[in-house]
């Protein structure tokens, strides 16, 4: 299985009549496995990404084995445009920006009550996911209990394979503004925390994995994808406070920097340092 390299920045140099594009890499990047891309190497980009000459891109790539663009070293499995973002909505500071309350969402117990946690598309303001459609919150993502969410969505017809979850997923866009905001899983998948496949209790499928905020490699701040709905910051804070947190989340020391979620390995390292500092070991 080919290793993926994430966080690759590139500029589109040419687009063929069939829509296939060639982009030149503008910054070095390295995967966790050590595979690296270098400035000046090229990426083949599928027509479905609808790029134009001169577009600045942010990609996830694998080694290119395609015969369509034999001169390219890499193939883009995911593409986003590196262009200024703009929203049609003027959001409150607790919904957008570096202090948005989405960063305060804890990891929650599967199937718990998520009253008051409705998600809106940051770009156009469409109500995307209602609180009763949320199964759990993990990391900076919300997992739904259905793919039939209240908002209008567009699902890519072509699936992609997730090597970690050992199944296919489908990119999802907002039906109102076409912003990328989620992925669809149609069938059970491998969950590293479980050490096996999901089921109806751990994660019902089909479902959406909805991004709330993310921070790309090299970025200094988070990018908001979906915002919390609510009448006020106070009501949103009350809804967050009422969530049933996982035991692992409750054990996290309160003095950790407020940087959103950390992965399991980082959490384990932080907890070990805390216990040593407290003389618990």
pLDDT band at 255 (very low <50, low <70, confident <90, very high): very low
The pLDDT-based confidence of 48 (bands split at 50, 70, 90) is confident
Looking at the DSSP bridge assignments, the partners of residue 160 are 169
Among the four given CATH numbers 2.40.50.140, 2.170.150.20, 3.50.50.60, 3.30.390.50, the one describing domain 101-250: 2.170.150.20
Residue 197 has pLDDT above 90, yes or no: yes
Specify which residues 145 forms β-bridges with: none
| 219 band by pLDDT with thresholds 50, 70 and 90 | low
Residue 189 CB neighbours (<10 A): 18
Q: Is CATH 2.40.50 correct for 5-81?
A: yes
How far from 200 is each of 12, 77, 111, 207, CA to CA, in Å?
43, 29, 10, 11
Element (H, E) at 43: strand 42-45
CA 134 to CA 144: how far, in whole Å? 4
* For the chain, percent of residues with pLDDT exceeding 90: 53
Write down the pLDDT at residue 229. 94
C-beta separation of 177 from 225 below 8 A:
no
Residue ranges of domains in the chain: 5-81, 101-250
Find residue 68's DSSP bridge partners.
none
Residue 263: band (very low, low, confident or very high) from pLDDT cuts 50, 70, 90: very low
Say whether pTM exceeds 0.75: no
243-255 as b/e, with b when 16 or more CB fall inside 10 Å?
A: bebbeebeebeee
Percentage of the residues of the chain whose pLDDT score is greater than 70: 83
Lowest mean pLDDT among 57-71, 122-136, 161-175, 194-208: 57-71
Winning range, highest mean pLDDT, from 31-40, 98-107, 132-141? 132-141
């Amino acid at each position: 299985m080919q290793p993926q390299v994430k966080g690759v920045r590139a500029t589109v140099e040419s687009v063929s009549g069939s829509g296939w594009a060639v982009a030149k890499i503008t910054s070095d990047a390295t995967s966790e496995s050590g595979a690296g891309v270098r400035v000046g190497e090229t990426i083949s980009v599928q027509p479905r990404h609808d790029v134009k000459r001169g577009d600045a891109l942010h990609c996830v790539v694998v080694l290119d084995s395609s015969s369509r663009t034999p001169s390219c070293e890499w193939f883009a499995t995911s593409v986003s445009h590196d262009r200024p973002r703009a929203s049609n909505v003027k959001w409150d500071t607790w919904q957008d920006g570096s202090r948005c309350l989405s960063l305060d969402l804890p990891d929650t117990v599967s199937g718990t009550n998520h009253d008051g946690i409705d998600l809106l598309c940051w770009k156009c303001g469409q109500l995307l996911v209602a609180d009763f459609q949320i199964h759990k919150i993990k990391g900076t993502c919300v997992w739904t209990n259905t793919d039939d969410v209240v908002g209008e969505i567009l699902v890519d017809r072509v699936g992609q394979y997730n090597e970690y979850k050992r199944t296919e997923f489908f990119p999802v866009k907002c039906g109102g503004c076409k912003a990328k905001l989620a992925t669809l899983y149609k069938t059970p998948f491998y969950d590293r925390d479980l050490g096996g496949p999901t089921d109806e209790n751990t994660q019902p499928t089909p479902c959406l994995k909805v991004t709330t905020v993310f921070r790309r490699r090299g970025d200094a701040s988070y990018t908001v994808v979906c915002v919390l709905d609510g009448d006020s910051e106070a009501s949103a804070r009350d809804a967050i406070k009422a969530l049933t947190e996982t035991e692992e989340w409750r054990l996290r020391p309160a003095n950790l920097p407020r940087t959103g979620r950390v992965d399991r390995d980082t959490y384990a390292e932080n907890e070990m340092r805390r216990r040593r500092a407290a003389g618990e070991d």
